[in-house]
Structure 1
Amino acid sequence: MNWEQLLSLKRSGDTNKRLRKEQDETRVGFEVDYDRIIFSTEFRSLQDKTQVIPLSQTDFVHTRLTHSLEVSVVGRSLGRKVGKKLLEKYPHLKEVHGYQVNDFGAIVAAAALAHDIGNPPFGHSGEKAIGEFFKTGGGSKYKNQLTDKEYQDLCDFEGNANGFKIITQKNLRLSYATLGAFMKYPKESLPKKPSSHIADKKYGFFQSEKDLFNNVAKDLGLLQRSKSNISYSRHPLTFLVEAADDICYTIIDFEDGINLGLIEEEFALEYLSKIIRNTIIPKNYYNLSSKQERIGYLRALAIGTLIDESVDIFMTNEEAILNGTFDCALLDKSKYEAQIKDIIKISIDKIYQSEEVIDKEIAGYQIINKLLGVYTNAVNNSFEGKASNYDVLILERLPKTIDFNNESLYNRLLAVCHYVSLLSDSKAILNFKTIEGVTF
């Protein structure tokens, strides 16, 4: 892979190549990507989607929206720091093509901003609930009418693939560089985990976006990893998007748990101090009067340390990343890997498996299962000309912007899943209550 091709400003529908040196410096195309994402309705709905504590009313807790904004800020710093080093290593990118340090930051920031845009309500349990509906629930009856890959898309409903579906909509038209950086798992749903390579951990697009995915990958010059199935090496900047997410959820979820009283403050000093031992000033820490301020101080230093280390790891392995042989996340190479694993283990034990979280996830399973059952029945009954009065009423409440009447059963089922995935936590609950006859 080469950087000039990877930094493509092309957008879907373009007939001519967009040259970096011809861009308006007051608003470069990569910055336009960020703006289009942040003004999209799908991004705004993240303000009412679960991050750590589902449906929490506590001020301290992050939603998917605040998490995504923070990941984009960290991603921008990572991109700019790496961009500076890359332009020093490959001066022709600036001298001949006009690329600037901030371009790298803008691409990573935009992709990071959108990294959770495809996640359904109720966090990762929402993804699992959709998959369970098709594996063992009411949706299993469709298995024999679908191809293996179509059925796998539904059984392993993936927020990353759904995100790619969202950000490739005609009204967004993001640059191929941003789309490439977003594609965390550049493969289709089957074969499942064919290797231990980080790019094979999950899948990144539905069969409905297969052709578009191929076009983007080929235009960017991503390396093809399989001759029999669609599978590519990652866009190098994807590693920075992933690192930004890993840094934020590791450190900030931990911070949320402490502020909520689920984790003792002493754990923060014990585990984070091992990461920031070279930058912490004990006097500054102990002079802070509130727990929230003290934890915020530790969090800021920890994020800064991990940003700098991620940049060093990326540049050390840049050639392996370009040739597709770097096979793990950047933080897997961190000298603080043991501390990071300890922090994540504490978060799992104290936060993700807390009674409040589990209770809300159980409720989320029931809500999503009910919505999928009612909507798929109504959509398919209507397509087959067998809609009941109840089905007609249900269809009236579905958005006209999504094609629920497609000739393909797969596309109809995926449309329902896509619609449910776009619901905020509160909207999903409201729809569930309406279906259950609870209107007040």
Structure 2
Amino acid sequence: MNWQQLTSSKRSGSENKTAYTDAVRTSFVRDYDRLIFSSAFRRLQNKTQVFPLPGPGVFVHNRLTHSLEVASVGRSLGKAVGDALAQKYPLENDYFHEFYKYELPSVIAAGCLAHDIGNPPFGHSGEEAIRTFFRDLTGTEKAQFSELLSENQQRDFLFFEGNANAFRTLTHSFNEKSAGGFRLTYATLASIVKYPSDSLSGFNKEQLVTKKSGFFDSEIETYKHIAKELGIPRLHESKNIFARHPFVYLVEAADDICYRIIDFEDAHRLNIISIDTIKELFLQFFDNETGYDARERVAQVFNDINDNNQRVQFLRAKLINLLINRVTNVFMEKEEELLQGTLQKSLIDYLPESELQLIKTIDEFSIEHIYNHRSVVEIEIAGYNVIGGLLKEFFAAVISPKSTKSKKLLQLISQQFVITGERDRLYNDMQSVVDFIAGMTDLFAVDVYRKITGIEFPQIR
């Protein structure tokens, strides 16, 4: 791979059109704008990040606020890396310098905005709820699922992955005549595909690129086309496994930095963990720093702040800034492996050993005290029941579309999700059902579930 080819501004669905030029809004700024003004992005405001969405007076992050913060960190990473590349290669052409000095921040920020756009409601349990439903199929439904879908298509559901669903959400036309979905640039689209392999090759932890999957069977050709345009190599002759686009590592790093720190901030606001715990864990990162980042100075400013929430915000800002600098240095140190497609760990995993141990301590603490907190477990269970219940009803309607109940149920699915009822298009119809449910907000999913199961009687609005 080479830095120049990786920057293509071609758009999905508009490959044969002349690139639109605008002195104010460049192609990559328009990517960011298209995402932030989209309905799919706005719906993230009512999707769980970790903690259930609380009542008035208490604020925790949802998918939307998380994505905005990741985009902010990603923009800084893009600026730092872009400046470093432009400085390292002074003899490259004007386009190279223009892109890396001014456009890369927009690409990474847009990729960060989009990184969770394919995630279903109820946090990470939403993905597992979809997988569990299809793994537990029995009888006629199981028989048709096995008979009419290829192995790769089956695994799209058995190993449903939010990353792959994000790529589908951004590139699929659904029921519109115009092709290309959001019509984002190839550079932005490739920056969100963390695991560039199909479901059949994915979920193999021997390689980073196959840890999960990055595109469904329905989007394989779309990704192949983008990869060819960007010069992303295929890593296996007979399998759909590709190298990562180097920008993916920056999007991933921004997410890695944010969720580790922000989840602590939310837990503190909910009185799950104390200010002393956060102080103890976070200040250790500054043990070997000097100047404004020296531990003594950071601790002094921290202690001079009266409000505990402000104290947490101060430490959060200092730590994010420190990690941005660390990750930028790692990216430049690993440039050769990034371009060869051989880097086998995320950037944050290349931090100095002392800091890696601190990251490990944070991860272990989070698992024990945050991700297994009662409120988190409760919403995960709710996700299993609500998503499982919705799939049970709508999948049965797709399998037997001519029954009276099925016809009524299918009327509830938005027109953008096409249900053909044709036997040889079961895979597409199943995708439409999952598209419909995965795109729901937490509250809308609960509302539909209650009404179609009779728990709540519908009212005329």
TM-score range, shorter chain: over 0.9
- Contact 2:283 2:299 (C-alpha < 8 Å) held by counterparts: no
* Runs of 5+ consecutive residues of structure 2 not aligned to the other structure: 173-179
* 1:267 aligned counterpart, secondary structure: helix
* 1:116 aligned counterpart, secondary structure: coil
**How far apart are the structure 1 equivalents of 2:283 and 2:142?**
49
**How far apart are the structure 2 equivalents of 1:189 and 1:56?**
35
Aligned to 1:47: 45
**Given the alignment of the two structures, is residue 401 of structure 1 paired with residue 416 of structure 2, yes or no?**
yes
Report the alpha carbon displacement of residue 96 of structure 1 after superposing the two structures with TM: 5.2
| Superposition pairs of residues 238-277 of structure 1, within 5 angstroms | 238-277=248-287
**How far apart are the structure 1 equivalents of 2:246 and 2:121?**
30
Aligned to 1:106: 106
- Contact 2:46 2:63 (C-alpha < 8 Å) held by counterparts: yes
**How far apart are the structure 2 equivalents of 1:32 and 1:93?**
25
- Within the candidate set 326, 341, 347, 1:309 is matched to 326
1:352 counterpart letter in structure 2? Y
Report the alpha carbon displacement of residue 92 of structure 1 after superposing the two structures with TM: 4.4
Q: For each residue in 1:210-259, what CA deviation from the matched residue of structure 2 results, as whole angstroms up to 9, or x when unmatched?
A: 11111011111101111111111000010000000000000111111122
**How far apart are the structure 2 equivalents of 1:398 and 1:379?**
11
Report the alpha carbon displacement of residue 24 of structure 1 after superposing the two structures with TM: 3.1
- Within the candidate set 154, 157, 161, 1:158 is matched to 161
Q: For each residue in 1:416-437, what CA deviation from the matched residue of structure 2 results, as whole angstroms up to 9, or x when unmatched?
A: 1111100000000001100121
Aligned to 1:391: 406
**How far apart are the structure 2 equivalents of 1:439 and 1:56?**
25
Aligned to 2:16: 15
Report the alpha carbon displacement of residue 140 of structure 1 after superposing the two structures with TM: 3.7
Instruction: Name the CA shift for 1:171/1:157 in 2 (closer, same or farther; >3 Å).
Output: closer
**How far apart are the structure 2 equivalents of 1:196 and 1:282?**
42
Report the alpha carbon displacement of residue 102 of structure 1 after superposing the two structures with TM: 2.2
- Within the candidate set 127, 140, 143, 2:146 is matched to 143
**How far apart are the structure 2 equivalents of 1:126 and 1:180?**
24
**How far apart are the structure 2 equivalents of 1:77 and 1:421?**
30
1:66 counterpart letter in structure 2? T
**Given the alignment of the two structures, is residue 178 of structure 1 paired with residue 203 of structure 2, yes or no?**
no
2:441 counterpart letter in structure 1? S
Name the count of aligned residue pairs: 433
* TM-score, normalised via structure 1 length: 0.95
- Within the candidate set 16, 26, 29, 1:28 is matched to 26
**How far apart are the structure 2 equivalents of 1:76 and 1:419?**
31
Over aligned residues, Cα RMSD in angstroms? 1.7
**Given the alignment of the two structures, is residue 82 of structure 1 paired with residue 81 of structure 2, yes or no?**
yes
**How far apart are the structure 1 equivalents of 2:194 and 2:348?**
15
**How far apart are the structure 1 equivalents of 2:204 and 2:445?**
35
**Given the alignment of the two structures, is residue 118 of structure 1 paired with residue 118 of structure 2, yes or no?**
yes
- Contact 1:34 1:110 (C-alpha < 8 Å) held by counterparts: yes
Aligned to 2:379: 360
**How far apart are the structure 1 equivalents of 2:286 and 2:112?**
25
- Contact 2:201 2:210 (C-alpha < 8 Å) held by counterparts: no
1:348 counterpart letter in structure 2? I
* TM-score, normalised via structure 2 length: 0.90
Aligned to 2:335: 318
1:381 counterpart letter in structure 2? S
Bigger mean CA offset, 339-348 vs 232-241: 339-348
1:65 counterpart letter in structure 2? L
* 1:15 aligned counterpart, secondary structure: coil
2:224 counterpart letter in structure 1? N
**How far apart are the structure 2 equivalents of 1:410 and 1:93?**
47
Report the alpha carbon displacement of residue 194 of structure 1 after superposing the two structures with TM: 4.0
Q: For each residue in 1:354-376, what CA deviation from the matched residue of structure 2 results, as whole angstroms up to 9, or x when unmatched?
A: 11111121121011111001111
Aligned to 1:372: 391
**How far apart are the structure 1 equivalents of 2:268 and 2:193?**
32
Report the alpha carbon displacement of residue 116 of structure 1 after superposing the two structures with TM: 0.2
Q: For each residue in 1:47-89, what CA deviation from the matched residue of structure 2 results, as whole angstroms up to 9, or x when unmatched?
A: 0001011233363310000000000000000001000011112
**Given the alignment of the two structures, is residue 431 of structure 1 paired with residue 430 of structure 2, yes or no?**
no
**How far apart are the structure 2 equivalents of 1:427 and 1:224?**
40
Instruction: Name the CA shift for 1:221/1:163 in 2 (closer, same or farther; >3 Å).
Output: same
Aligned to 2:358: 339
